[in-house]
Amino acid sequence: MKNTTAALTEAIYYILLALQEPLHGYGIMQKTSSMSKGRLVLSAGTLYGAISNLLEKGWIVPCGESSDTDGRRKLYQITDKGQEILLAEFERLEELVENGRMNIKK
């Protein structure tokens, strides 16, 4: 399936990637930093702005509360639509890398 939406920002891509399992905000921050080897460090403001945007688009949904903090942390998970968008972006990025491999002279 071809994605007709604009390219995702790096932060949105990593947030959706992190939400392959339900996580709370701090967990998302930790996982995105770990996956990017510390290159992407989300501030709380950036993260919660992105979460608000993703909730509005229907790409993620709240799925309960974390038991590790007396239920004060909301958990989020990716939706089928969010997974579809993530996969389309992954395929777009693969194409970019493949074109680079074929055309960049070393």
Residue type, 43: S
Domain assignment of residue 3, yes or no: no
pLDDT tops 90 at residue 106: no
Domain assignment of residue 2, yes or no: no
pLDDT for the residue numbered 66: 65
pLDDT for the residue numbered 105: 86
Q: What total number of domains does the chain contain?
A: 1
The pTM is what? Answer: 0.87
pLDDT tops 80 at residue 91: yes
Could you tell me whether strands 23-24 and 60-65 are parallel, antiparallel, or unpaired per DSSP bridges?
Answer: unpaired
| Domain with 31 in it | 10-103
Q: What percentage of the chain reaches a pLDDT higher than 90?
A: 83
Domain assignment of residue 69, yes or no: yes
Q: Tell the residue number behind the tokens 């890398």, with chain if given.
A: 97
pLDDT for the residue numbered 103: 95
Domain assignment of residue 5, yes or no: no
Per residue in 27-76, pLDDT (tens digit) is 999 999 999 999 999 999 999 999 999 999 999 999 987 666 556 789 99
Domain assignment of residue 59, yes or no: yes
pLDDT for the residue numbered 70: 58
> For residue 67, how many C-alpha atoms fall within 13 Å in the half-sphere facing its CB?
0
Q: Tell the residue number behind the tokens 């993703």, with chain if given.
A: 54
Domain assignment of residue 85, yes or no: yes
Domain assignment of residue 36, yes or no: yes
Residue 9 CB: number of other CB atoms within 10 A?
12
**Nearest-angstrom CA–CA distance, 66 and 64:** 7
CATH number at residue 19: 1.10.10.10
